[in-house]
Amino acid sequence: MNKKNSILFEGQYTIQFEELELPPIIQRTPSHSNISTSGTTADNPANRHFNYISFGSGSSGNSCYIGNKDEGIIVDVGVRAEDITRELAANGIPMTKVKGVLLTHDHSDHVKFAYTLLRANKHLRLYCTNRVLNGMLRRHNISKRVKDYHIPIFKEIPFKIGSLDITAFDVPHDGTDNMGFSIVYDNRHFVLATDLGAVTERAYYYMSRANYLVIEANYDLQMLLNGSYPEYLKRRIQTEHGHMNNVDTARFLAEIINPALKYIFLCHLSKDNNTPELALRTVRSALESKGLKVGTAQETIRDREADVQLMALPRFDPTRRFIFRP
C-alpha cells in the first residue's frame, strides 16, 4: 500500500498525495500547421540558458517572458504592450524572437492588452483554450479580430513552440478554464501557476517537478480578515476557487521542496492584504524548517551557498533578466 501524506489548508480542506510518483496522463501533440514540432538545443552551453523576466505581478497586471537564446513566449498580457516591448528590448530581446502569447485565464489583469500586442506584432500567435478565448471576448471589450491569431490548445495535451515543450494543466480559480503552464527546455522545467485557490493532484504533479517555479502567495489571512474588503469578497478569496494565502503556499512548498527546485518566485501578492516581507518571511520559515539555506535570488556570495532562491515578484516593476544556466 502506498504511503500518503496530507496537507491541511487553514482548516478548510485536506489534500492527500501519495509518495509514489503520479503517472502522467497519456498525451499526444495536436497537429497544427502553425505549431512547430522541431527545435534542437545547440551544443554551446551559452545557447542553453533559460531566461525569465516578470513585467508585473498582481491584480494591476500580470505578464512575463520565458525563453532561450533563439525564441521565447509571453505568458499573459495584463501589462501594457509598449512596456513589454520596451523591457524586452532593454534586455536585448527583439520582439521577433517572441513566438507566441499564452493566456492562463480570462481575467482582465491577465488579458487586457493581448490584442494590442498581437496587432503590433502580427507574427505572434495566441495560445489558449477555446473557452478562455470565448470568455475573454464575453467579459471584456476586446476586438473579435483576436480570433485571427488564435491557436487552440487543450489541457494535458503537450504542444511545442520552437524548442519549448509546453503543457497546460488545470488549476482551480474563478475565471474561465483556468490553467498553469509547464514549460520544458533542455530537460529543465519552468512551471507557472499565477492564480489558484488550492493545489489539485495535477497541479501538484507538475509543480513538484519544477526547477523554476512561479506560484501564488496572494494574501495573509489575518490581514484579509481584519481588512476593509466586503465580507462576500473575503469569502470568495478564501475558497478553493479563490487565491492561495501565504501559509498555504509555504506548507505546499515545504512539502515539495527537493534538490532540483532552484528558484521560487512568489507572485500575485495582494496590495491590500499582503506585503512582500510577510510573504517571504512565511515561506522562508517553512523552508528553513526543513534544514534548507534560502537565498534571495540577488546573486550575492551568500546566495551562492543557498539550496534554493526565493523572491517575491514586484507588483508594478519588471524584474531583471534571470538567466538560468544548465
pLDDT in tens, 113-143: 999 999 999 999 999 999 999 999 988 888 9
Task: Domains for the chain: give ranges and CATH numbers.
Answer: 49-317 (3.60.15.10)
- % of the chain surpassing 70 pLDDT: 86
**Which pLDDT does position 44 carry in this prediction?**
59
Instruction: Provide the terminal-to-terminal Cα distance of the chain, rounded to the nearest Å.
Output: 37
Cell 480570433: give the residue.
147
How far does CA 71 lie from the centroid of its chain? Answer: 18
Residues 6+ apart with CB under 8 A from 193: 171, 180, 203, 207, 214, 215, 216
Residues of the chain with pLDDT under 70: 1-47
pTM: predicted TM-score of the whole model, two decimal places: 0.85
C-alpha cell at 219: 494574501
**Which pLDDT does position 21 carry in this prediction?**
46
**Which pLDDT does position 69 carry in this prediction?**
83
Closest Cα partner for 82 from 52, 43, 121, 27? 121
The DSSP secondary-structure symbol of 326 reads -
Burial of 222 (0-12, 13-18, 19+ CB in 10 A): exposed
pLDDT digits (tens, 9 = 90+) for 17-60: 444 444 444 343 343 434 443 444 445 555 688 999 999 999 88
CA atoms within 13 Å, Cβ hemisphere of 76: 30
**Which pLDDT does position 257 carry in this prediction?**
97
Alpha-carbon span 70 to 68, nearest angstrom:
6
**Which pLDDT does position 154 carry in this prediction?**
97
**Which pLDDT does position 239 carry in this prediction?**
87
Alpha-carbon span 143 to 18, nearest angstrom:
46
**Which pLDDT does position 46 carry in this prediction?**
58
**Which pLDDT does position 45 carry in this prediction?**
59
